[in-house]
Structure 1
Amino acid sequence: MAFRLAPSAAAAGYRLEAHESVSSTNALALEHARAGDGGDLWVVSSRQESGRGRRGREWSTPPGNLAATLLTVGHFEPATAATLGFVAGLALSDALFAVVPEQRIAVAADGGDLPGGRFALKWPNDVLAEGAKLSGILLESSILPDGRFAIAVGIGVNVVAHPENTPYPATSLKALGFKGDAGDLFLALSDAWVDNVRLWNAGRGLEAIRKRWLTRAAGLGAQVSIRVDGRVARGTFETIDEACRFVIREADGSLLRIAAGDVHFGAVASAQAD
């Protein structure tokens, strides 16, 4: 397997560091930043031995899957930097639509409707394929001695294998009929990133990113539950707001804006969140 940057990414000044195996692409990218790397560096591998998801959860990357981290360095407000996760989700979904065959009919993993389309974005950091988890996105950061912010945008994708016996259904690109490899997906991802990060424009284009993200949002208009402030909130997924917070309309009609949490959809929402 060979990893290559898309010509558009190379022309935009991005660089590539590819590995057969790493402990964590995010950790390695941040090490480079602390050693003086100026960013716009992709660190990629088809195997990751000590990857992490949100809240310290393990993210397994067996051989053949994709672990990719984009290192960006600059003067960012933390809240602005956090919205790069939405840029990553859009870039990955663009790449998936570009490389995965379309002959299969999109049906959700639970047999129900598929809000958001075949590849849908689940707030805040997952990409679903036909309703099952395909990818996770994790942002980690470090403040550098000169005051700049180093941000590692980690993207893990189940290309050839996916975990079994998980709380949510999971899938892989191989199961969807994808005949390529992690290198093929990364090539498309590096291309799609260029367009989406330009649209983001250091946060100045966040409203355009928000609107585009909503066109691919999983569960928009559906019943959801989420644990917040020591309770389980339930309602209808209305939108994400100007700060990309999750907005639900509760039974009494009030709007609740949530900055972080695990969202559960549909019929399983009550049981999973409790």
Structure 2
Amino acid sequence: MSTNAAGHGPWPEGYACVVLDTVDSTMAEAARQVKNIDRPTWIMAKTQTAARGRRGRAWVVPAGNLNASLIFKPEATAAEAAKRSFLAANALYQALAIYVPTEKLALKWPNDVLLSGGKVAGILLESSGQGPFVDWLSIGIGVNLRHAPKGVQNASFPPTCLADAGGGEVDPLDFLSTLADAYATQEAKLLRLGFSRIRDDWMSNAARLGEVITARTGREDVTGIFDSIDGDGNLVLITGTGPRAISAADVFF
């Protein structure tokens, strides 16, 4: 089944939308559909059978939550494309802030959104390209709107959902319309003002900025004061041996 977002709030000009009943994952579907798209396209599925998060981790998707991916062809290097995770995080923050007070929300580096200290949304980026620029970029977004996944063991940031935080019963397609509009605004900001503005907006809502956190890279744990993110999107920690820029890690408070 395919449809669009008409009747579900403002939809950004120049973007397409496809809604499916069931798919293995919206990221996999985005990769399959990339050769057919002529504009940035959101792909949403009511249910997914093989969703995944960062580093191949399973992403549990109860019915009523948002499962969506944006597939498009930016004129960007792989490093520039990777910065879109911050655009997506800013857009998610703005969309969620319509339903809950902003003091309940925070952005966790590199790509999660926290609601009252629990994980409410996650972002996953995939791209492909052999030359200096990526051929395509896909941004996968999962948001716990109505249900927090059950049975998640030993999570540092236990899953939570918008409904449990007083956000009400939000239709996934309504939320996608709000999110898509917010994301289009972020792309316009990037074009006109550059990544420094995206970075500043992200940092203004960052979790534990100025506090001691730990980044687990897979090779080591680095503990220090969360100072900033740099112009490449790296996490900058002030450690006992000086500043450290970390490109990939899991963060713990």
Q: Does 1:188 align with 2:206?
A: no
In the TM superposition, 1:156-235 aligns within 5 A as 156-164=142-150, 165-166=152-153, 167=155, 168-177=157-166, 178-201=168-191, 205-228=194-217, 230-235=219-224
Distance 1:38 1:262 in 2: 35
Structure 1 runs of 4+ off > 3 angstroms? 5-8
Task: Give 1:93's aligned residue.
Answer: 93
In the TM superposition, 1:1-274 aligns within 5 A as 4=5, 6-9=9-12, 12-33=13-34, 35-98=35-98, 100-102=99-101, 117-143=103-129, 149-164=135-150, 165-166=152-153, 167=155, 168-177=157-166, 178-201=168-191, 205-228=194-217, 230-252=219-241, 254-265=242-253
**Kept in 2: contact 1:8–1:194 (CA 8 A):** no
Tell me the CA shift for residue 69 of structure 1. 0.7
Distance 1:182 1:36 in 2: 25
Q: Give unmatched runs, 5+ long, in structure 1.
A: 107-116, 266-274
Q: What TM-score results when the alignment is normalised by the length of structure 1?
A: 0.83
Residues 135 and 101 (structure 1), Cα distance of their counterparts in 2 relative to 1, 3 Å cut: closer
Q: What TM-score results when the alignment is normalised by the length of structure 2?
A: 0.90
Distance 1:48 1:8 in 2: 24
Distance 2:135 2:89 in 1: 21
Q: How many residues of Structure 1 are paired with residues of Structure 2 in the alignment?
A: 245
**Kept in 2: contact 1:30–1:142 (CA 8 A):** no
Tell me the CA shift for residue 47 of structure 1. 1.6
Tell me the CA shift for residue 66 of structure 1. 0.4
- Secondary structure in 1 aligned to 2:176? helix
Residues 175 and 74 (structure 1), Cα distance of their counterparts in 2 relative to 1, 3 Å cut: same
Q: Give unmatched runs, 5+ long, in structure 2.
A: none
- Secondary structure in 1 aligned to 2:48? coil
